[in-house]
Amino acid sequence: MSDTTIEFPAGFFPILPWDTQHGRDGKTQRVHGLESIAACNFTMSGFVRPEDLVLCERLGLSAIMYPDVSSGVITRNEWTTLTGDEIDRRIKTMVDKLGTSDAILGYYLIDEPGAALFPAPPIFITIIEVPIMTKWRTQNES
Protein backbone atom coordinates (compact mmCIF):
# COMPACT_ATOMS: atom_id res chain seq x y z
CA MET A 1 0.00 0.00 0.00
CA SER A 2 1.26 3.45 -0.84
CA ASP A 3 1.60 6.26 1.67
CA THR A 4 0.60 8.81 -0.97
CA THR A 5 -1.87 11.43 0.24
CA ILE A 6 -4.67 12.30 -2.15
CA GLU A 7 -5.08 16.05 -2.51
CA PHE A 8 -7.98 17.50 -4.45
CA PRO A 9 -7.94 20.94 -6.05
CA ALA A 10 -8.73 23.74 -3.58
CA GLY A 11 -12.46 24.00 -2.93
CA PHE A 12 -13.28 20.75 -4.70
CA PHE A 13 -15.98 18.57 -3.16
CA PRO A 14 -16.70 15.38 -5.14
CA ILE A 15 -20.45 14.93 -5.52
CA LEU A 16 -22.14 13.13 -8.40
CA PRO A 17 -25.22 11.26 -9.53
CA TRP A 18 -24.46 7.53 -9.42
CA ASP A 19 -25.49 6.46 -12.91
CA THR A 20 -23.90 5.68 -16.25
CA GLN A 21 -24.23 8.36 -18.90
CA HIS A 22 -24.92 5.89 -21.68
CA GLY A 23 -26.32 2.90 -19.83
CA ARG A 24 -24.31 -0.21 -19.16
CA ASP A 25 -24.64 -1.26 -22.78
CA GLY A 26 -23.24 2.07 -24.03
CA LYS A 27 -26.23 2.67 -26.31
CA THR A 28 -28.58 4.57 -24.02
CA GLN A 29 -28.55 8.35 -24.35
CA ARG A 30 -29.85 10.09 -21.24
CA VAL A 31 -32.50 12.74 -21.82
CA HIS A 32 -30.89 14.87 -19.14
CA GLY A 33 -27.17 14.48 -19.60
CA LEU A 34 -23.99 16.20 -18.56
CA GLU A 35 -25.41 19.70 -18.97
CA SER A 36 -28.10 19.02 -16.37
CA ILE A 37 -25.53 17.49 -14.00
CA ALA A 38 -23.48 20.69 -14.17
CA ALA A 39 -26.61 22.87 -13.88
CA CYS A 40 -27.49 21.05 -10.64
CA ASN A 41 -24.05 22.00 -9.25
CA PHE A 42 -22.66 18.48 -9.14
CA THR A 43 -18.87 18.55 -9.45
CA MET A 44 -18.49 15.14 -11.12
CA SER A 45 -20.17 12.93 -13.63
CA GLY A 46 -20.21 9.26 -12.95
CA PHE A 47 -19.30 6.68 -15.48
CA VAL A 48 -18.60 8.54 -18.70
CA ARG A 49 -16.99 7.34 -21.93
CA PRO A 50 -14.00 8.97 -23.65
CA GLU A 51 -16.31 10.79 -26.07
CA ASP A 52 -17.86 12.62 -23.07
CA LEU A 53 -14.60 14.10 -21.82
CA VAL A 54 -14.57 17.24 -23.97
CA LEU A 55 -18.01 18.17 -22.66
CA CYS A 56 -17.00 17.33 -19.07
CA GLU A 57 -14.01 19.66 -19.45
CA ARG A 58 -16.16 22.44 -20.94
CA LEU A 59 -18.71 22.12 -18.11
CA GLY A 60 -16.03 21.91 -15.40
CA LEU A 61 -17.01 18.38 -14.37
CA SER A 62 -14.57 15.76 -13.15
CA ALA A 63 -15.30 12.23 -14.31
CA ILE A 64 -15.18 8.60 -13.32
CA MET A 65 -14.45 6.74 -16.53
CA TYR A 66 -16.64 3.80 -17.54
CA PRO A 67 -14.77 1.41 -19.84
CA ASP A 68 -16.31 -0.70 -22.56
CA VAL A 69 -15.10 -4.12 -23.67
CA SER A 70 -12.62 -2.63 -26.16
CA SER A 71 -10.95 -0.73 -23.30
CA GLY A 72 -9.93 -3.95 -21.59
CA VAL A 73 -12.56 -3.99 -18.84
CA ILE A 74 -12.24 -7.03 -16.59
CA THR A 75 -15.43 -9.00 -16.08
CA ARG A 76 -16.61 -10.13 -12.64
CA ASN A 77 -15.51 -13.73 -13.26
CA GLU A 78 -12.10 -12.72 -14.63
CA TRP A 79 -11.02 -11.06 -11.37
CA THR A 80 -10.62 -14.48 -9.78
CA THR A 81 -9.01 -16.24 -12.76
CA LEU A 82 -6.53 -13.75 -14.22
CA THR A 83 -2.94 -13.62 -13.01
CA GLY A 84 -1.56 -10.48 -11.42
CA ASP A 85 0.43 -9.75 -14.58
CA GLU A 86 -2.69 -10.09 -16.75
CA ILE A 87 -4.70 -7.80 -14.45
CA ASP A 88 -1.80 -5.33 -14.57
CA ARG A 89 -1.73 -5.40 -18.38
CA ARG A 90 -5.51 -5.11 -18.75
CA ILE A 91 -5.84 -2.17 -16.36
CA LYS A 92 -2.90 -0.34 -17.96
CA THR A 93 -4.55 -0.88 -21.37
CA MET A 94 -7.87 0.43 -20.03
CA VAL A 95 -6.27 3.53 -18.52
CA ASP A 96 -4.34 4.23 -21.74
CA LYS A 97 -7.41 3.81 -23.96
CA LEU A 98 -9.63 6.01 -21.79
CA GLY A 99 -7.48 9.07 -22.31
CA THR A 100 -5.47 11.61 -20.38
CA SER A 101 -7.99 14.39 -19.84
CA ASP A 102 -7.59 16.56 -16.76
CA ALA A 103 -11.27 15.80 -16.10
CA ILE A 104 -10.50 12.15 -15.28
CA LEU A 105 -10.62 11.60 -11.55
CA GLY A 106 -11.01 7.83 -11.47
CA TYR A 107 -11.92 4.61 -13.22
CA TYR A 108 -14.81 2.20 -12.79
CA LEU A 109 -13.46 -1.31 -12.21
CA ILE A 110 -16.40 -3.33 -10.86
CA ASP A 111 -19.67 -2.73 -9.03
CA GLU A 112 -19.89 -3.79 -5.38
CA PRO A 113 -17.18 -6.44 -5.34
CA GLY A 114 -16.86 -8.88 -2.50
CA ALA A 115 -13.45 -9.53 -0.98
CA ALA A 116 -13.25 -12.90 -2.75
CA LEU A 117 -13.01 -11.13 -6.13
CA PHE A 118 -9.83 -9.32 -5.17
CA PRO A 119 -7.17 -11.72 -4.01
CA ALA A 120 -4.50 -9.04 -4.51
CA PRO A 121 -5.96 -5.50 -4.38
CA PRO A 122 -2.56 -3.76 -4.20
CA ILE A 123 -1.97 -4.80 -7.82
CA PHE A 124 -4.58 -2.50 -9.32
CA ILE A 125 -4.21 0.21 -6.69
CA THR A 126 -0.54 0.63 -7.63
CA ILE A 127 -1.26 0.59 -11.37
CA ILE A 128 -3.90 3.31 -11.28
CA GLU A 129 -2.44 5.33 -8.43
CA VAL A 130 0.72 6.45 -10.21
CA PRO A 131 -0.78 8.47 -13.12
CA ILE A 132 -3.64 9.85 -11.01
CA MET A 133 -1.45 10.88 -8.06
CA THR A 134 1.04 12.51 -10.42
CA LYS A 135 -1.77 14.54 -12.02
CA TRP A 136 -3.15 15.65 -8.63
CA ARG A 137 0.29 16.56 -7.32
CA THR A 138 1.01 18.62 -10.44
CA GLN A 139 -2.31 20.47 -10.16
CA ASN A 140 -1.77 21.21 -6.47
CA GLU A 141 1.80 22.43 -6.97
CA SER A 142 0.74 25.10 -9.48
Asked if the structure places residue 29 within a domain, the reply is no
| Mean pLDDT of all residues belonging to the chain | 74
Print the SS3 string covering the chain. CCCCCCCCCCCCCCCCCCCCCCCCCCCCCCCCCHHHHHHCCCCEEEEECHHHHHHHHHHCCEEEECCCHHHCCCCCCHHHHCCHHHHHHHHHHHHHHCCCCCCEEEECCCCCCCHHHCCCCHHHHHHHHHHHHHHHHHHHHC
pLDDT tens profile 90-116: 888 888 888 788 888 888 888 777 777
The number of folded domains in the chain is: 1
pTM more than 0.85? no
Asked if the structure places residue 8 within a domain, the reply is no
Q: Which domain holds residue 110?
A: 34-141
Asked if the structure places residue 125 within a domain, the reply is yes
Q: Pick out the chain residues at pLDDT < 70.
A: 1-9, 22-32, 118-142
